[in-house]
């Protein structure tokens, strides 16, 4: 009985010092229900409350960091496995990928514009490069027939040189393949993440003398559906 009384007194003192229940239980091995009963009337000073709040916040941050690390590790594991499942693309697979990409992002021949050339637009440098590879390896298109325009929001006009260099590097094409920059005047949706320093506009890839190629691509698309 005397031992329990001493434990209770110690628990109360530790609580008044601002320790959490978990910290007290580490020093006094009793049932949590007993501890709650002992401490229910203990009032904490502002300093003790601030300490406990800070500890809870630190625990939340640590827990969040651990979850984030686990999520990153799991994401890497899933992506690495998925990447291996793709393996090396065959020529036919690349052929179908290129046709599907153009179906989604390419300019189609219109009734009012029967001589539409091949125009492929996107802001993703990886997609642009896959399409360039398709043009080179499947279509056997000479690089000289490829030309680019950059479309950029006017709010980023102060970054023109940076944007141009970015696309020179990403496409592997020199400045002579790039035409003028077109500025979009509408406002950027502030909910988007690709703004500010991470925004490099959109590339419009154009193929010279390609009306018949465009028609052929339309036939391939029809062959798919």
The reply to whether 113 and 219 lie within a common domain is yes
Measured over the CA atoms of residue 187, residue 192, residue 197 and residue 203, the dihedral's sign is: negative
Tell me what the mean pLDDT of segment 27-37 comes to: 77
What per-residue confidence (pLDDT) applies to 15? 77
CA 85 to mean position of chain CA atoms: 22
What per-residue confidence (pLDDT) applies to 13? 74
Domains identified in the chain, total number: 2
Between 120 and 12, name the one with better pLDDT.
120
The reply to whether 96 and 198 lie within a common domain is yes
What token pair was written down for 30? 């009793």
178-184 and 146-153 strand pairing: parallel
Domain end: 45, 63, 81, which one?
A: 63
Q: Determine the Cα–Cα distance for residues 101 and 143; give it in Å rounded to an integer.
A: 19
Q: Give the burial string for 149-171 (b: 16+ CB within 10 Å, else e).
A: bbebbeebeebeeebbebbeebb
The reply to whether 118 and 210 lie within a common domain is yes
Categorize the per-residue pLDDT at 115 as very low, low, confident or very high, splitting at 50, 70 and 90: low
The reply to whether 158 and 119 lie within a common domain is yes
The reply to whether 107 and 194 lie within a common domain is yes
The reply to whether 59 and 95 lie within a common domain is no
What per-residue confidence (pLDDT) applies to 58? 76
Query: Is 47 a residue whose pLDDT tops 70?
Result: no
Length reported for the chain: 225
Q: What range does the domain containing 57 cover?
A: 2-63
Say if 111 falls within a structural domain: yes
Say if 38 falls within a structural domain: yes
Say if 193 falls within a structural domain: yes
Say if 83 falls within a structural domain: no
Categorize the per-residue pLDDT at 81 as very low, low, confident or very high, splitting at 50, 70 and 90: very high
Tell me what the mean pLDDT of segment 45-69 comes to: 74
The reply to whether 55 and 107 lie within a common domain is no
Tell me what the mean pLDDT of segment 131-141 comes to: 97
Assess contact for 15 and 44: CB atoms under 8 A: yes
């Amino acid at each position: 009985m005397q031992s329990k009384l001493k434990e209770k007194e110690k628990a109360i003192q530790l609580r008044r010092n601002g320790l959490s229940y978990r910290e007290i239980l580490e020093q006094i091995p009793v049932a949590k229900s007993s501890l709650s009963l002992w401490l229910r009337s203990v009032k904490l000073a502002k300093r003790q409350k601030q300490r406990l709040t800070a500890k809870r916040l630190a625990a939340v941050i640590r827990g969040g960091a651990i979850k984030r690390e686990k999520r990153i590790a799991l994401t890497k594991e899933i992506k690495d496995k998925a990447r291996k499942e793709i393996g090396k693309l065959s020529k036919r697979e690349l052929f179908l990928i290129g046709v599907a990409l153009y179906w989604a992002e390419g300019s189609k021949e219109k009734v009012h514009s029967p001589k539409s050339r091949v125009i492929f637009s996107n802001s993703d440098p990886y997609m642009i490069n896959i399409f360039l590879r398709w043009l080179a390896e499947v279509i056997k298109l000479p690089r000289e027939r490829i030309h680019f325009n950059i479309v950029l929001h006017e709010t980023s006009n102060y970054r023109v040189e940076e944007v141009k260099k970015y696309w020179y590097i990403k496409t592997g094409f020199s400045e002579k393949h790039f035409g003028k920059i077109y500025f979009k005047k509408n406002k950027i949706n502030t909910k988007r993440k690709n703004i500010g320093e991470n925004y490099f506009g959109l590339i419009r890839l154009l193929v010279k003398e390609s009306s018949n190629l465009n028609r052929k691509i339309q036939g391939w698309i029809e062959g798919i559906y």
